Amino acid sequence: MKFIKSLYIHNTFFRYIALLAAGFILSFWIKAIYPIAWIATYVLATLFLFDIFLLYTTKNGIEASRKAPQKLSNSDLNPITIRFKSLYPFKVLLSIIDELPVQFQKRDFEYNTTAIKGEKREFDYTVRPVDRGEYVFGNMNIFVSSNLRIVKRRYVFQKDQMVPVYPSIIQMQQYDFLATSNNLTEFGLKKIRRIGHTQEFEQIKDYIPGDDFRTINWKATAKKSQLMVNQYQDEKSQPIYSIIDTGRVMKMPFNGLKLLDYAINSTLAFSNVALKRNDKTGMISFSKKIETFLPAVQKITYLNTILEKLYNITTAYTDSDFGLLYAHIKRKINHRSLLLFYTNFEHISALRRQLPFLTAIAKKHMLVVIFFENTELENLIAKDAEDLQSIYHKTIAEKFSLEKRLMQKELQQYGIQTILTKPEHLTVNTINKYLEIKARGIL
């Protein structure tokens, strides 16, 4: 039974059968061909049995394995490595078919190569997931045939290998590496000059010529009868929260990836940078209810907790309750914090409905509202209009694009910081805004 399941007929064999059938048909008109056709049949049958003998005399002719990362990184190209070794005493032809997870909707994966005795080989391919969750790789099938190419023997390895897809760990590592190597500009990160004084008091010390006279502590000077100055240090361990709107507005896809996943990837990369800069980092996700709340903590191992929470975030086709978010922030976040709020507004009327809650939050915290440019509309605007219909479409697209800029200005009029960004530039623009706020000391 095992033998039957692993035995497959090579395509070349069917070509031989077609030629024999043609020979027998011709023999009705040309009698001399009839014995030749029978001889060819006997030869083909002999070669068929001989090919089976060649492939099955070696009990385990192929060793192979699939190596995948423990966690796949969402929206990135993840490498998958196939390793194999031939134990056949002759050169064999290999056809490797890996059954990819159903989420990729790819059914034509095939890699063809050859191998000689004892040769160890490997090759890589990449997969790009666009949804978080569990991805199950099926069988890794290797079909082996000899140079006769009559039959194929099938080997099956690593059935049902599950690999979870997490938020973009690769993107997080890229920004982490660039930050530590001082190559920030490679990904568009700006170096921002620090302005003015930081406000975190450290100690009172004796005045030394060259100290800024604006830091003189006159009360301490009066008590000591000599000049004393306040000494400040860089403000650290400031609470910073990433707030993710999981409502229907975040379901819109760009380049196959939903806005929600862009926000999740950005939150992970940004949280890593903030923790490395000794700030406290927390997270909130909400729609009709508060789904996730992580208080701000300054501990690098806290990044694993954030990663697990981001992995489990889901969204539904519901409108988000900004009033609920305001009440939750008022009750749970007591210290002035930097709030990076990932959401989206397609119409200015949608923004104005939520504006009272946003302005109320901004009175006690440094609020940064992050929303998205519609890149498909921008592409439509960039195209030349060739007929009346395209002129109409372009005009409507320009109207929506203008509304985005008006929304940004309206938020700024109420003292709310904004980021209007293309989805693919979200992470770098968010980190830039964070560095700018820290450098200006306005938190």
Residue 376 clears pLDDT 80, i.e. is over it: no
Q: Convert the pLDDT of each residue in 396-410 to its tens digit.
A: 777 877 888 999 999
Residue 142: predicted pLDDT? 92
User: Under CATH, which number does the domain 1-166 receive?
Assistant: 2.60.40.10
Q: How far apart are CA 153 and CA 158, in angstroms?
A: 17
Per-residue pLDDT for 198 more than 70? Answer: no
pLDDT average, residue stretch 82-101: 92
Ranking 9-13, 101-105, 125-129, 275-279 by mean pLDDT, the lowest is 9-13
Quote the distance between the C-alpha of residue 64 and its chain's center. 29
Give the per-residue pLDDT at 200: 57
Domain 169-193+235-440 classified CATH 3.40.50.410? yes
Domain ranges of the chain: 1-166, 169-193+235-440, 200-233
Answer with the residue of higher pLDDT: 218 or 333: 333
Structure confidence at residue 233 (pLDDT):
59
What average pLDDT score do residues 253-277 get? 91
- The more confidently predicted of residues 11 and 76 is 76
Asked whether the predicted pLDDT for residue 269 surpasses 80, the reply is: yes
Average pLDDT over residues 9-37: 71
Q: Which of 182-191, 247-256, 305-314 has the highest average model confidence (pLDDT)?
A: 305-314
